[in-house]
Structure 1
């Protein structure tokens, strides 16, 4: 089984070395590709200096475009599984083999790493947890499926989802919307418990000012996804 780790990175000079080195140490059997989303800091230079595998985007596409680039790379290079691991170091690569085994053994199409099943490790801020519960309820209403951590970026996809996401992927804040899209297609999504870490450096792409926009935009996108399918 060919397995690829997609690392979307925008201005992650403070974290990218630790992230890649932890993958090389703890995710044996996985390839990886850093998607440098036209960073304005030294992310690209650091990748070059350390000999990391990376794709350099000429313009900033945002998280959705960066992740879709990774799925395109995975599809075109024949990978059987692809997993998103954020460049900020919050996702622990020690859980990737467990996720891969679960996906293969249980024959599901996507496995999401959830921090809320066993409630260990970093649980996100109080405001974001409110938003996460809201999206979990909305997804259950739209699809009948309970997803405890719908905003988790730690998600492993099988070959059919790789193909789907390589062709069509939400632009920004894509996790809840894309989960609804594949559930509406009748594909199987499961969750496994993971432990996430708090960001050690850099700045989150979702600021306090963007939180309201995030809630409204994703809610509308999910409702539109429900209608058009």
Structure 2
């Protein structure tokens, strides 16, 4: 296996039919730091997502059909391990995650294995209403108890992981709906990983069509509760100690 790099960061960007926004997002990420490598996991797109991402400077991993965010991230973690990355961070292809916040989220790895870019931590004006808000509040309270630290945004996809987290994700990272956020986080915590959150600001989607509506919000409430309950039935993983030195740089 390729030796682990302590200086490069793999930015994993799952993308499904994001031809309108992905090029600009890749360009912004690469401009934010020379130490970031961008992997766009083309999740069975039927548009030109792969072509425009590659033209913008990303490495593109094409999946033969749509697996969802969880499946795309699993592929990204396997790529990270194969090519020796010690730190990874998920960034949405639609531009809602501000690349200027990547370094801040990575710095959370100085004190934890997983660092979450939190939307509801007294920064920015991102809001949700109705069933989605109720679900997020309940999930945050329950998972904060498991983590033994206050978390306000456990469904955020803007999160980074170190080598120890990557090892745990390779052992268990579900592809089911909400598994990539709730399920993966609960199992990682129960397996011994630690988590921290960093306040970030969310931006409007830079292209494409939002997937949420009132009906989907109600469905989200039910599915999130089910995902949480199901997460507690998952087996714990045996997570090795971090193979990297404690003074490894976490932010750029």
TM over 0.5: yes
2-side partners of 1:141 and 1:226: how far apart?
13
1-side partners of 2:214 and 2:170: how far apart?
31
In terms of fraction of residues, the more helix-rich structure is 1
Tell me the alpha carbon deviations over residues 19-62 of structure 1, each in whole angstroms, 9 at most, x when there is no partner. Answer: 00100111331111000101122212323444531111111111
1:196 aligns with 2:202: yes
When the two chains are superposed, the root-mean-square deviation of aligned CA atoms in Å is: 1.9
CA contact (8 A) 1:92 1:197 kept: yes
2-side partners of 1:42 and 1:182: how far apart?
35
1-side partners of 2:34 and 2:233: how far apart?
42
Tell me the alpha carbon deviations over residues 50-97 of structure 1, each in whole angstroms, 9 at most, x when there is no partner. Answer: 453111111111111011111111111111100000001011111222
CA contact (8 A) 2:44 2:63 kept: yes
1:212 aligns with 2:185: no
1:75 aligns with 2:81: yes
1-side partners of 2:106 and 2:31: how far apart?
17
Q: CA deviation at 1:184?
A: 1.1
Instruction: Compare 9-18 and 45-54 and name the one that shifted more.
Output: 45-54
Runs of at least 5 residues in structure 2 that lack an aligned partner in the other structure: 1-5, 236-252
Q: For residue 125 of structure 1, what is the aligned residue in structure 2?
A: 128
2-side partners of 1:183 and 1:65: how far apart?
20
Say which SS state the counterpart of residue 218 (structure 2) adopts.
Answer: helix
Q: Against the structure 1 CA distance between its residues 81 and 66, is the aligned structure 2 distance closer, same or farther, given a 3 Å change threshold?
A: same
Q: For residue 151 of structure 1, what is the aligned residue in structure 2?
A: 155
Tell me the alpha carbon deviations over residues 110-163 of structure 1, each in whole angstroms, 9 at most, x when there is no partner. Answer: 000112112314x14323333321211232355544320111111000101112
Q: For residue 25 of structure 1, what is the aligned residue in structure 2?
A: 31
Q: Number of aligned pairs?
A: 226
Superposition TM-score, scaled by structure 2 size: 0.82
Superposition TM-score, scaled by structure 1 size: 0.90
Say which SS state the counterpart of residue 233 (structure 2) adopts.
Answer: helix
2-side partners of 1:118 and 1:195: how far apart?
9
Tell me the alpha carbon deviations over residues 149-191 of structure 1, each in whole angstroms, 9 at most, x when there is no partner. Answer: 1111110001011122123212122212211111111211000
CA contact (8 A) 2:90 2:158 kept: yes
Kindly report structure 1 stretches of 4+ aligned residues shifted beyond 2 Å: 47-52, 98-102, 127-131, 140-146, 203-218
